[in-house]
Amino acid sequence: MVQSIASGKYPAGSLLPSEMELCEHYQVSRHTVREALRDLTERGLISRHKGIGTLVCAQVKGSMNHPLAYLEDLLVLAKNNMRVVKKIDDIVADHALSLVIGCEPGSRWLHIASIREDSQKSDAAICWTDSYVSIDFTKVKQLVRSDPYALISDLIEEHYGIHGEEVRQTISAVGVPPKIAKALCVEAGSPALRIVRRYIDRRRETFETTVSIHQADRYTCSIVLKRQAPHN
C-alpha cells in the first residue's frame, strides 16, 4: 500500500478501498490488512474515520521524507528516483573499507558508484551511493545500467538466487566529501547524512553493502520506535 500511495494511485485526500477489497487485491488476511493500515496510520500517511473510510493524508516523498520500517520501504525510494551509474570497477578493500563492509582486508569487491536523481526535479541528485558486492556477481555490471530503478540487492536476488533476510542500517552525520560534492551540486563539507546498509541473506552473510551520502536538506529518514510488550 505504501507503493500505491507513493506512486500517486491514492493521492492525498482520496479514500483507500475497504478492508475486504484490500484483502482480495493483495490476497492476504483481514488481520494482515488491519496491521498494515495501523502502521500507515502511525506514520501519518492515512487517517481512519467511522462512517467515511480511510483517508490518505500525505504522499510519500522519496526525495524528502522516507519512512523506513520494512524492507519494502527501500523499494519506494528506488522506484521513484532513477539511478545514474558514475563508475564501475573492481577494488581491493583496505583496512578502513573492510571495517565498513565487514570483510577481510585485501579481499576483492565489485564497486558501483552512482547517484539517485530526484524524480521531482530534473538533473537533481538526492544522494551518492557506493555499492560493494561480490566480484562473483559479474552480471550486476550490466544489470544496474539496464534497470536503473531496481535495487542492486533485488537484482542480485533475482539473478543469483539469494534471498535477503534483513538490512542492517547505520546513520551518522557527516560533511559532504569533496570528491562527491560536485555531483550533488553542494559545497564540500556541507551537512549530510551517511547511511551504511548491509544486506544480509538467510545464511546471515552480507551479500551487499551500500554507503550513501544524502545532503541534509534533501532527505529525512522516519523510523517508528515501539515499546516492547511487557514480560509476564
pLDDT tens, per residue, the chain with 232 residues: 666 776 667 777 788 888 888 888 877 788 878 888 887 887 777 888 877 888 887 555 443 455 555 566 666 667 777 899 999 999 999 999 999 988 899 999 999 999 988 766 656 788 899 999 999 999 999 999 999 988 999 999 999 999 888 889 999 999 999 999 999 888 999 999 999 999 999 999 899 999 999 887 776 666 666 677 776 6
- Residue 154 host element (H or E): helix 152-160
> Of 83, 71, 172, which is closest to residue 128 (Cα–Cα)?
83
State the CATH architecture for 65-222: 3-Layer(aba) Sandwich (3.40)
pLDDT score recorded for residue 64: 44
Q: Model pTM greater than 0.75?
A: no
All residues at 6 or more sequence positions from 124 whose CB lies less than 8 Å from its CB, including other chains: 117, 118, 185
CATH 3.40.50.11710 at 2-56, yes or no: no
**Sequence ranges of the domains in the chain:** 2-56, 65-222
- Residue 224: CB atoms within 10 A of its CB come to 10
Question: In whole angstroms, what is the distance from residue 15 CA to residue 43 CA?
Answer: 17
Strands (E) located in the chain: 46-49, 53-56, 65-67, 83-92, 108-117, 125-134, 164-175, 191-201, 206-215, 220-222
Q: How many angstroms from the chain centroid is the CA of residue 222?
A: 12
217, 64 in Cβ contact below 8 A?
Answer: no
